Each structure stands twice: as C-alpha cells, then as structure tokens.
Amino acid sequence: MKSALNYIIIVVATAILQLFLPWWVIVVVPFLVYIVRSDTPLIAYIISLAGVATVWFAYALFLNISTQASMSDRIAQIFLLPSGSILAVVTLVGGLAAGFGGLAGHYVRQLFVKEAY
Amino acid sequence: MKLLKAILSVSIALGLLYALNRPWGPVPILGSFLSPFTGFWQNGEPAISGEPVDVELSLDSLREEVTIHYDNVGVPHIFANNIYDVSYAQGYVTAKDRLWQMDLQVRSAAGRLSEVLGPQTVEMDRRARRMGLGYGAEINLKMSMSDSITREAILGYTAGVNNYILQLSPKDMPIEYKLLGYEPEAWTPLKCMYMLENMTLTLAGRADDLAMTNLMKRLGDGPLNNLFPDYPMLQESPVIPAGTPWNFIPLPVPDAPRATGDTARVAYQSLPLSEPMVEGIGSNNWAIGAEKSATGYPILANDPHLELTLPSIWYQVQLHTPEINVYGVSLPGIPGVVIGFNQNVAWGVTNVDADVLDLYEIKFKDSTNSQYWYNNAWQATRKRQELIQVKGMPDAVQETVIYTHHGPVMYYEGEKHNGPTLAVKWIGHEPGNNFRTFYELNAARNYEDYRAALTHYVGPAQNFIFADNGKNIAMTVNGKFPLKWKDQGKFLLDGSNPAHDWQGWIPADQNPHVKNPPRGYLSSANQSSTDPSYPYYINWRFGPSERAIRINERLESMTMANADSLRLLQTDNFSVLARTILPTLLNYLKTVPLSSAQKSAVETLTEWNFVNDAKAIAPSIFDEWISNIGPAIWKDEIYSDSTSYKYPSRDRTLFLLLREPDAPWFDNIRTPAKETINDVVYGSFKAALDSLTINHGPMSTSWQWAEVKGTEIKHLSRVLKPFNAPPVRNGGGASIINATTKYHGPSWRMVVELGPEPKAYGLYPGGQSGNPSSPFYTNMLDKWEKGELNELIYLKSSDEKNPRLTSTWTLKKK
C-alpha cells in the first residue's frame, strides 16, 4: 500500500514537473520521496525505477504511435540500435537514473532516522 | 557504515546525472535527448496530419495583419499589406521549416562551423575567412540597407526569423540542434548577405589560373593554346544565337600587356590544388515565343542544377502585397523569390560561369606582411583580425587576413605548399544590391521592368531568361563583368603590375542580350555566352555544349507546344555526346579481336538509341568508357600528383578523336612503344568493362544505368545517413538535359505558360519541411523521379477558394 502510494507520487510528480523542468527531475523526485518516506532500499530502488519508467515508456509510446515512429526509427539507426529497441533503451535509461535517485534518498534518510532497515 | 552507504548511493546518483547531462564526443546530452518530454520524440510528426488546424498568432514588431494559406504540398501563400510584413511572414515560415539549414549555411559562409562542430572544420573556416566572405557580406549589406525597399525586406525577414526563434522552446528545436548539442542564435541582416555570398561561392568561386599556369610551363605556349582554346572547336550553340547584332559601341579594351617576365617569375613548382568545377553544377532554361506555342503566349522553363541535399536547397512560396503577387522558389535565408513568375512575367536563371575570380601573385616587403610591391612602390596592406571559436577548445584560433587592393591573401609562400603568395580578386567582394534585382523581378510587369531590374545585379552572373504576356521573350547574360584584356585571368596575374588589374567594367547595357529572336525561342545551359564576335572577354571556357545543342534541336522543331511539351524536354535523356562520338569509337574496335563479354558489350552499345534511360545498360558502359578516354589520352602528358593540372575540355578531346586521329597525344610517352588512337580506344573500353565488372559483377541488370549512376540525395550534415532520401533511380546524366548525376541534378523544375492567367507547374526533389520525420520532407521526390510536375497554385487574392488549400495561419500584431 505504501509502495503503491510512493509509485503514484513519483508517476504524477515526474509527469507534471517534466513539463516545466529539465529531464533530471526524474532523479530528484524519487530522491526526495525516499528522504521523506521510509521503505527498504530494494523497494525504494524498484519503485523509483518503475515510476519513471512508466512515465517515460507511456509518453514515448504515445508519441511513437502518433508519429508512426517516423523519428524514433531514424534515431535508432543513427545510434545503431536494433529496430524497435529504442523504446526499451530509453525506458531503461530513465528508470535506472531514477532508481539510483530513490536509493540515494533512502540512504540519506537513514543518516537521520532510526529505522530497522 | 550508514554514512558510507549514503555517500556511495548519492555519488552514483550524481554521477549518473552528470554523465547523462553532458555531451560525450559526438553523443548528445543523453538525458534531455532521450526524454520523451524534451528529446527527439518531440520532433516526430504524424505521417498524415489529421484535420488541418488553423492557427492564430500574435507577434511582436509586425505592422499589420498577415494571412498565410498553406496548400496540400506544404507551400505557404502569404498575403500582407506591405513589403516589410510579407518579408516578416516569409522569414517566419521559412524558419519554421528550415531553421537549422539556414543556420548551417550561414556558419559555412561565415567560417563559423567550428563553433558547433569542433576542431575538424577549422581549416574550412579558415578558408572562408581568407576568401573574404565576411568582407563581401558587410559591403553588400551597406548597399542593401541604403535602399529603402530592400532595407524593409531585409529588416522584415530578420524580424520574422527572430520572432520564430523567440517562441521556440527547447523541446521544439529542430532535431539537428538536439543531436549536435547547440541552440539557435538570433538572425541578423548580415546573415542574409552571407547566404548570397554562399551562392556566389558555389557558382562563381573557382578558377583554373593555377592549373593553367603550371601547364603553360610544362607544355609551352603553342601546345597549350592548341589544347585549351577560347571557344569550342567541335560544336557549340551559344546562349546568344550566333548572328545576333551587338547594338552598341564597345568600350576600348586594353591590349594584353607583353609578357614582362613578371609572370615568368612563377617557377614551375607546387601550387595549392584548387577544387575542380564539378560537371553537374549548371542549369537549363528556355522560353518559346507565341508562334511556337499552342496557347498563343510564350512558355518558359527553368531547372537549376545543384548538389541535391535535404533539406532542399529551395523553398516554394507565394508573396502577395498591393505591389507584388509572385510565386516561385526562394533561398532559405533570403527574402523574396529568386526564380518564379507573376501575373505578367516569368523568369529563370542558369549560371554563366564568367571568369570573375583571379589570383594575383603578391610580394611582401618583409615578414610583417604590412607592405606589398605594386606600381613600383611599397603599398600598405590592411589587416582584418578573424577569430575562429572552436567547440571544446578554450582559445579561439586567430587568423589575420591581409588585404591588398586586389583582395584578401588566400595562400602564403612557404605555407603547406611551396608556391607564391596569392591574393584573390573576386566578384563576391564587389558591392551591389542583388535584392533590388529580385524585388524588381518579383514586381515586374513587362520587358522594360525586367531590363531595369537586371542593372542592379552583381553576381554570380546568370543567364536570365524572360517571358511576358506581352508576348516577349528575352535572354540577358547578366552580372557585373570585369573589363579585361583577352584571356586576362586564364593564367596567374602579376599583383605588382597595374596593367594586370581589372580594367573597369563592361557597361551593364552592353551585357550580351537578345529579345524576340527570329528563330522564336531562346535557351541557355551554361555553354558559351556568345560566339567569338562579342567584343569583350567573359571567360575562355564555359560548360560543355551537349545540353544546349539538344535543347535547341528540340525547340527548333517544336510547334504548337504547351507546358507538357516543355516538361518532357526537361526530362529528356538523349545523349548528344554519345551520338557524336560513339559510332566512331565502335568503328575503332572493329579491327580488334574481342572476348565474348566485350562482344556483347559492343552489341549493346551498337543497338543503343543514345537515350540514358534508367533501365538501359548501354549508358553505363558508355559513361565509364568516355570518362576513361580523357585520362587515357592526356594523363601521361598532363597529370601531376604534386601540382594543379587540368585536362583539355571534352569538346577538345572529341575534336582530337574525330578530326585528329594521328595526333601525337595518343602516344603514351611513358612507354617505349608507340601507341595510337586504336590503343587508346580499346584500352579505355577494356578498362571500362573491367571496372564495371569489378563493381557490379558480370553484365546483367546490375549494370542498369540508374543502378550504376546511383543518385543519392544526402542530408546536409553528410553524416546522418538515416536523414538521407531513399535511393533515387532515374535516368539522365552529366551531359544530358535531365542532368541527374550521383550527387547533383535539377534542384527545381518549373514550367510557366504565360497568358491572361499564368498557369505554372513545378517541384523539387524533396519537400518544404526540413524535419526528416515530416510528411513534407520528401513529398515531391517520387514525382520528381518520374519527371512529373505539380500544378502550382497561384492565388489572386486571400479570399480565393482552392480545394488544395488546407489551413490558414493568421499573424496578428501584438
């Protein structure tokens, strides 16, 4: 339940903030979430990754479908990526960066809060 | 332990953030580039834009409301109340479609590529600075800004581009900016001038002076004049029909100074290699008079040949104000229409290839380069400090360009080559107001307006074809031409001798010109401007004659022609070159024992109708053969790996093959044996087949002309291959009217039927949008490849309905 809420916070906050702020809010948001809210390091990592991956994947998929992949196919070729893999690559990069943000938030919290993790 | 974990995890998060927030070599800032919110995803465009949307914008520094109707090809039809606003809107919509292209072309001319591309373009930038493109742009700007109309056009255009850039958020920047990791900067009036300098450089930025000087040393006067004559020896069909009277009293032309030994000071030594002129940069235009047309009015056609790239070189636009209503193609970065038509007139251009770039040998007093020897005295130079900023380098590269009264110094003695110090005298440094010419042509109502418009034009010199609905056709070989002694600038000039200076200018009204000739048609295809009776020297060499000969043959026999007749002529694939020489070449092979593969190649060539069709095999064999014959004859005497050289022209080579079969040039002086024309013809034939077999396998469909020619239309970056056009498979060739070669070709085809209402057709191999994912990136390519044209929508007023109009943009004053 707690994880579900954290997940929703990350999804909603990164989706909205990215409309105004640079890409790196996907690292900052999970970091702040797990400074404020407690959970195990593994779950902090996974929920952060999943939250941002969801946002990036969903929006990229939407753009990809609505533009018939007319740009992403060409970018994939420039970066020598197998066709169709670019969506996964992008999702993974965003997710990993966010995951480490959440993990860092968790461990910074541990410096100040006594918890059984 | 807790602290360690915290430090470690924060470090990893920050490290990732840092790594993804900076460029790595050619890799852009990945975080923002990959993000669907800001990155490349945002540049995607749907293949079929659903319901077209009308747009209303309020914009700064607009004077009155502007209406823009887009048609289904992506062409904006702009309606404004004054020249400032119409130029503003043109700037705005051009930037919307082509911003990065404009940016790159200005950077290339201004020597500012390294700012965004890094150290590998420093030498290119240095050349642009030394060529004095900035100097030329600045003095041309003064001229254009001192004219009230062109000033309005340039200021309006600049404001339009800048207001587009101002509202552009980072996520909407063209994909090339995101990939290269830089941002658009403000447009300026000077940048419009750089675009003109760029065109002048492309079309009039080369000279053979070095190659010819070297050959003079090696071959001597007699053979040199024999091999490099000033007028084609075999066949020519000049732009101004032979026999056209010159109705003026020419200025006295100074005699060539006697060789004083000064030019002989140029030792036979290594000189910097100049880039050869590529065959393929050229153009066709023609007009037929009312007596040859089915409409009872003239019909005009133009197809300029340039390097084919994406985004396309041209941008179609209609501009409407109370004074003008013009449709045609513009160059992104320049206000107005360059080639087009209006209610009453149509015009087009082809390159003249005048000798307007000369190299002067300079002798400096000392290593400070502050004085040079001229007219028996030391004269002061001027110095212009140039700073080339380089991406990734802390310090700018400093370049001091030295200016003599001739022009800037391009090459220095002892620098990379061991030739002399050379200054360049170039038409690109001459002040003028080409914008005034284009504006007046856009607004022209008749022949007199056309003639008046041309007087403002400086360069690059063009053959301006013209037709109007008063049933006139005309051609002017137009530009500011230096008054020279015969062959002045064919060889290196002596920068210390005043007799070697340009001697003034050919009066504009004495430029070669013809109106309504008895034959009922006019044409140009980069060939000799006039026959030798013209009293002035323009150049000693022009484009080869084959396209002109074919055009004139077809126009001569044409009657009751309409726009479609001229469209078919634009895509004519007949090879005058093959007709001229192939039967003779095949004759020489009859005495030689041939292998079976060679026999079947001969058979293919014998059956050939001389048409370079896409699927024919003969043109591939002939093309490879003929391009081997020149070197087979000339290489032993002329080729050099250390100095500039130039082979005799195709016309001279054909003359040798047809009329001088016993000439000593056929002997290969590097072998003890005595070779003859038979050896050259067979040897080059064998080499051609060998090379085709190596590259394409044994003779089969893989030898089809379209495959062997392999036309490519590359993205301007040259390296982003996925942004290239799909492979182009059409006919044509270098000496063909349909002048499509590997990288060059008809960059715009236009046919205009004059009359009470103009009817016009046209397209170019690309599309209006510069976005590779846009449905308007290459939407005209298929039709272009097939040789078809689009009907162009010429609206009389903003209210006019047309089923092909899709959406309307309204620009309102803020």
Domain count, chain A: 1
Nearest to residue B460, comparing CAs of B685, B203, B238? Answer: B203
A55, A71, A80, A111, best to mutate vs chain B, most B CBs in 10 Å: A71
Q: How far is B101 from chain A (nearest CA, A)?
A: 18
User: Does residue B30 lie within any of the structural domains?
Assistant: yes
Structure tokens that stand for B273 in this block: 């290699």
User: Does residue B22 lie within any of the structural domains?
Assistant: yes
pLDDT tens-digit map of B630-662: 999 999 999 988 778 899 999 999 999 999 999
Q: Which residues of B67-98 are buried (b: 16+ CB within 10 A; e: fewer)?
A: bbbbbbbbbbbbbbebbbbbbbbbbbbbbbbb
Cβ of A23 within 8 Å of Cβ of B31? The answer is: yes
pLDDT tens-digit map of B23-36: 888 889 999 999 99
**B38 reaches A (C-beta below 8 A):** yes
Q: How far is B721 from chain A (nearest CA, A)?
A: 7
Helix B2-20 and helix A86-112, axial crossing angle in degrees, nearest 10: 150
Q: Measured between CB atoms, which of B6, B30, B38 is closest to A111? A: B6
Q: How far is B263 from chain A (nearest CA, A)?
A: 52
Cβ of A23 within 8 Å of Cβ of B37? The answer is: yes
**B801 reaches A (C-beta below 8 A):** no
**B393 reaches A (C-beta below 8 A):** no
Reported as a pLDDT band with limits 50, 70 and 90, residue B263 is very low
CA–CA gap between residue A7 and residue A50 (Å, rounded) = 7
Give the chain B residue whose CA is nearest to the CA of A67.
B46
pLDDT tens-digit map of A42-64: 999 999 999 999 999 999 999 99
CA–CA gap between residue B88 and residue A116 (Å, rounded) = 67
Structure tokens that stand for B689 in this block: 């087949």
**B41 reaches A (C-beta below 8 A):** yes
User: Does residue B119 lie within any of the structural domains?
Assistant: no
Give the chain A residue whose CA is nearest to the CA of B16.
A97
B41, B48, B171, best to mutate vs chain A, most A CBs in 10 Å: B41
* DSSP letter for each residue of B105-157: HHHHHHT-SHHHH-GGGHHHHHHHHHTTHHHHHHHHHHHHHTSHHHHHHHHHH
User: Does residue A117 lie within any of the structural domains?
Assistant: no
Q: Measured between CB atoms, which of A59, A60, A71 is closest to B773? A: A71
Q: How far is B9 from chain A (nearest CA, A)?
A: 5
CA–CA gap between residue A104 and residue A98 (Å, rounded) = 10
User: Does residue B24 lie within any of the structural domains?
Assistant: yes
Nearest to residue B728, comparing CAs of B718, B739, B743, B716? Answer: B743
In percent, the amount of chain B with pLDDT more than 70 equals 96
Nearest to residue B303, comparing CAs of B718, B639, B750? Answer: B750
Structure tokens that stand for A91 in this block: 């999702």
Give the chain A residue whose CA is nearest to the CA of B27.
A79
Residue corresponding to tokens 């022609």: B561
Q: Measured between CB atoms, which of A64, A68, A111 is closest to B47? A: A68
Domain count, chain B: 1
Nearest to residue A24, comparing CAs of B178, B31, B24, B11? Answer: B31
**B57 reaches A (C-beta below 8 A):** no
Q: Measured between CB atoms, which of A66, A73, A107 is closest to B6? A: A107
A75, A77, A111, best to mutate vs chain B, most B CBs in 10 Å: A75
User: Does residue A46 lie within any of the structural domains?
Assistant: yes
Show the domain range for A60: 2-112
Give the chain A residue whose CA is nearest to the CA of B22.
A24
Q: How far is A39 from chain B (nearest CA, A)?
A: 15
Reported as a pLDDT band with limits 50, 70 and 90, residue A117 is low
Average pLDDT over residues B435-442: 97
Q: Measured between CB atoms, which of A24, A67, A75 is closest to B31? A: A24
Cis? peptide before B311, omega within 30° of 0: yes
- For residue A113, the model assigns a pLDDT of 81
Cβ B502 vs Cβ B483: under 8 Å:
yes
Q: Where are the beta strands (DSSP E) in B171-320?
A: 282-288, 299-307, 309-310, 315-320
SS3 letters for B606-634?
Answer: HHCCCECCCCCCHHHHHHHHHHHHHHHHH
User: Does residue B29 lie within any of the structural domains?
Assistant: yes
Give the chain B residue whose CA is nearest to the CA of A76.
B722
pLDDT tens-digit map of B178-225: 999 999 999 999 999 999 999 999 898 888 888 898 888 888 889 999
- For residue A2, the model assigns a pLDDT of 83
Average pLDDT, chain B: 93
Cβ atoms within 10 Å, residue B470: 15
- For residue B267, the model assigns a pLDDT of 45
CA–CA gap between residue B776 and residue B790 (Å, rounded) = 14
Show the domain range for B26: 1-34
Global pTM reads: 0.94
Cβ B657 vs Cβ B691: under 8 Å:
no
Average pLDDT over residues B390-399: 93
Pair type for strands B309-310 and B714-715: parallel
Average pLDDT over residues A5-17: 94
